[in-house]
Structures are given as C-alpha cells and as structure tokens.
Structure 1
C-alpha cells in the first residue's frame, strides 16, 4: 500500500501542476468587427462589400509563443449579382444586393514572436443561417449551406485588448444552382476583441 502511494503521489502532483498551468493558459473573450468580403464568381459584381462579425473566442496557450484560438462567430457577407446573371442562369435576377449570414467556427494556430504580436492561420467552417434575397424568380436557394475557408492574419495584443486583421479565402464552391462556375467567399476581416476571463 505504501509503495502504491509513493508511486501515485508524484503522478497526482504532476497532474495538479499540469492542470494549474493549463488553466493559466486558458482565456475567453468577445469580439466584433467589420467584414470586407465578396462572393467571387464571374456572375457577381467584383467589388468588396462591408458587413459585420461578432462572437466569442478562446485562447489556449501551450507555451509563451504557441497556442490555438478557436472562435464562434456570426458573420455577414454582402454581395451583388452582376448585370448578366440572368444570361448565365435562366430565371435569375440581375443586380440583386443581398446578404448571407453565417455561423462560423475558425480554429487558428497562433504564434507570438513577441508578446505584442500574434500571427494566426487556420481553417474556418461556416454554416449558412439565412439569406435575405433570392437570386431566382422561383425563390430557389442559390447558395450551399456549408462553406470551408482558410484564414491568415495578424493580431495585436495589449493586455486583454485584441486588435486584428485577417484575409479569408474560400476553398469550397458555394454555388448550389449549377456547375457552370464556382462561387467562393473572399476578403478581409477586421476586429476588436476583449479578453474577459
């Protein structure tokens, strides 16, 4: 019994130490900002449009330099169909300004060469919650429900305050009406975050 206790005691101390250090490296916060995005495709207006993003994030720091930052975000992509949309897609409507509202989950690897700066990159999966306009006269949904993207950017950390910018490039085709062309989300995200725990 004493032998078993002697073996278990160091293991218990090691687990307690690891748990304490992990807890010190785990933080939560909220963030909000602007999207400057577009739906990239030849049947859409090529200009970037302003939208919004808001949500929550966690910081899981493994060391002083490396960690991951998972997030849950509501974000908006604004688009405008082109003047020739109905030529490419019969029954389509030209010059429609619409909004796509996504629930997105980015999981970013974070590297901090210095305490003030974090370089971040990783995947993002988005679920289309709704769209406010129809691109077709018959009301057919034009966009797929899922979107997979890559993000990369820089974040400035001043205490609990986070200010950052990212580039988003869509990898999946969100066109749900045909195979004549691919539609992908693309653009920039700017944000301010606040660590609260």
Structure 2
C-alpha cells in the first residue's frame, strides 16, 4: 500500500510540475499546439496471459490518465496511471479464471516517426490491487500468494486521427516472477510466472 501511495504521489507531482511548466511557458513563450504539455485519458482492451502456466489468454480492461511532456520536436515523455486487469483462464472449456488487478504506472518515451504516428518504449511499474481464482460460483483469494510489485517493459505505437483523438497499441512484458516462492497457484509449473499483456485502446488529449 505504501508503494502505491508513493507512486501516486510521484505521478501527482509530475502532473503538478507539468501544469506549472505549461502555465509559465504559455505566459512567456508562444508555443505551437503540438509542443504544449497535454493531459489526457485512455481506456481499452487487455489481452493477457502468464508464462509457464498451461492456461489461455483472457480479456480484461484498462483505463486511466496520462500527461504528455514534449522534450524536443520529435520526442516526448508520457507518464501514466492506469487500472489494469490481467491474468489468464483455464483451458478445456472451464470457466475458471485467474484474475489479477494492478495499479500500473508506465513511463513511456515516445518518438514521433511522422506527424501523427509515434512509437514508444519504457518501464512499467505494477502494484498489485487484488488476485483471485474464480471457479464457477466460487472465488478464492490469491493475494497472499502473489508478489505485490511487478516490473515490466512496454513497447508500442500510436496514431492520432485528430489533435485530440488517437489509438494506441502496446505490449507489456513482465520481467518479475509474480508468484511468491512458497506458493504454486495450484498449477504445475516450471520456471518463473510472468505477466504478458497486449493492449489496444483509445486516447483522448484535452
């Protein structure tokens, strides 16, 4: 919980600094709309899976806020705060699902390849909110068996159809073993269990 509050404090500080910088810059130097700091919202679909687990991918939701901070004509930094639903589901027609919920904090470094198209990469810090195994009508808590922090790398691209509305594709590759050593999630496995999440969604800049 302390890590989550610390993360939120850091991002809130970034937002405040960005707003302050934007305000002071607007007062002193005329900028084009493409070079101003922009705040926005984003949401979309997660398709997630877990490595070294004999399970299928499952669909989930992500959504949250971001601030885009230009550092040069073609480069910008984009910190985000997102709710992200990950996990996987059992094979063979079973409706059992391993549901993982995270507060995710990506910090993406974006390069504008052409005026409306960008590519991006950067670290992602995931803080566990909840972990549950859902089977039929029953649900079992797995939070004690799951690491509270997961570190990953995001790679993606996006395209803005207008100055405000765009789409984003991203793959988040987890680098941490999310299962605590003394737990196995009730499944046979060899090696580390890591998150892998493909995202597709919509961005809106204010």
Query: For the superposition of Structure 1 and Structure 2, which TM-score range results when normalised by the shorter chain?
Result: 0.7 to 0.9
Cα pair 1:44 1:79 within 8 Å, conserved: no
Q: Would the alpha carbon gap of residues 63 and 185 (structure 1) be closer, same or farther in structure 2, given more than 3 Å must change?
A: same
Q: Would the alpha carbon gap of residues 98 and 188 (structure 1) be closer, same or farther in structure 2, given more than 3 Å must change?
A: same
1:136-155 matches, within 5 Å, as 141-155=144-158
Q: Could you say which residue in structure 2 is the equivalent of 1:105? A: 105
Q: Which moved more, 1:108-117 or 1:173-182?
A: 173-182
Q: Equivalents in 2 of 1:31, 1:116: separation in Å?
A: 17
C-alpha deviations, 1:7-53, integer Å up to 9, x for none?
xxxxxxxx968964689521100010000111112x441x2211000
1:69 to 60, 73, 78: 78
2:67 to 52, 58, 61: 58
Q: Does 1:167 align with 2:171?
A: yes
Q: Could you say which residue in structure 2 is the equivalent of 1:12? A: none
Q: TM-score, normalised by structure 2?
A: 0.72
Q: Would the alpha carbon gap of residues 54 and 186 (structure 1) be closer, same or farther in structure 2, given more than 3 Å must change?
A: same
Q: Equivalents in 2 of 1:123, 1:139: separation in Å?
A: 26
Cα pair 1:61 1:67 within 8 Å, conserved: yes
CA shift, 1:60, in A, is 0.2
Q: Could you say which residue in structure 2 is the equivalent of 1:25? A: 36
CA shift, 1:95, in A, is 8.0
CA shift, 1:62, in A, is 1.4
Aligned with 1:144: secondary structure? coil
Consecutive unaligned residues of structure 1, counting only runs of 5 or more, are 1-14, 84-93
Aligned with 2:192: secondary structure? coil
Aligned with 1:141: secondary structure? helix
Q: Which moved more, 1:32-41 or 1:171-180?
A: 171-180
Q: TM-score, normalised by structure 1?
A: 0.75
Query: Which has the higher Rg, Structure 1 or Structure 2?
Result: 1
CA shift, 1:101, in A, is 0.6
1:112-131 matches, within 5 Å, as 112-131=112-131
Cα pair 1:143 1:177 within 8 Å, conserved: no
Q: Would the alpha carbon gap of residues 21 and 35 (structure 1) be closer, same or farther in structure 2, given more than 3 Å must change?
A: farther
Aligned with 2:144: secondary structure? coil
